[in-house]
C-alpha cells in the first residue's frame, strides 16, 4: 500500500496488547461506537507525549457518543505501561511490537527505514469504514486542527 488507508476503505482489523498486557480488539471496540486509532512513533518522546497529552487533557471529547480512542506504537507493553502511568494516559496504548509494525504496515503508516510508524490518525465507524484518515511524516506533529477535524466527523 502506498500511503495511509483512505477514507471510505475498510479498516484492517487487529488484536493487540495494551499497556496492561490485555488484548484489545478493534472489532470489539467498534461494537460500542466509532474508534479513533492514533499511530505514534515511540514512547518517551516529546512530540508523542504532547500529542497524546492533547487527547488525555480532552478525554471526554475523545470518548463522547460511545467513541473509543486507542494509540498504537511498536514499543512493548511494559514500556507503554511505565510511560502511560507517568503521563496519566487513561486510554489503551497498544503494542504493535511483533510481528514488528504489522498493523502499522496494514494501515499504510509504517516507516520501513526507521522501523516505526508515522503519525497516522484514523476514525473507524461501527461497520469498519474509515471516516477520517491523515498522516504526517517523521519530525512532523499533528496539529490541533487534525484533532478538531476528527471530532468534527464524530459530532458535526
Catalytic option among 16, 48, 116, 123: 48
Q: Angle CA(137)–CA(49)–CA(94) in degrees, nearest 5? A: 80
Q: Are 17 and 24 in contact (CB under 8 A)?
A: yes
Distance (Å, whole) CA 50 – CA 153: 22
For residue 144, is it left (φ>0), alpha (ψ between -120 and 50) or beta?
alpha
Active site residue 108: no
Q: Catalytic residue positions? A: 48
Amino acid at each position: 500500500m502506498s500511503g495511509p488507508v483512505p477514507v471510505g476503505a475498510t479498516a484492517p482489523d487487529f488484536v493487540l496488547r495494551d499497556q496492561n498486557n490485555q488484548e484489545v480488539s478493534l472489532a470489539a471496540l467498534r461494537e460500542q461506537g466509532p474508534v479513533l486509532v492514533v499511530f505514534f512513533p515511540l514512547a518517551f518522546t516529546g512530540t508523542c507525549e504532547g500529542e497524546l497529552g492533547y487527547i488525555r487533557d480532552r478525554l471526554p471529547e475523545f470518548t463522547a457518543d460511545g467513541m473509543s480512542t486507542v494509540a498504537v506504537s511498536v514499543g512493548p507493553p511494559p514500556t507503554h505501561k511505565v510511560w502511560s502511568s507517568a503521563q496519566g494516559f487513561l486510554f489503551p496504548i497498544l503494542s504493535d511490537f511483533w510481528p514488528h509494525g504489522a498493523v502499522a504496515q496494514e494501515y499504510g503508516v509504517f516507516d520501513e527505514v526507521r522501523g516505526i510508524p508515522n503519525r497516522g490518525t484514523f476514525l473507524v465507524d461501527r461497520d469498519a469504514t474509515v471516516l477520517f484518515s491523515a498522516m504526517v511524516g517523521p519530525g512532523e506533529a499533528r496539529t490541533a486542527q487534525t484533532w478538531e477535524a476528527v471530532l468534527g466527523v464524530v459530532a458535526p
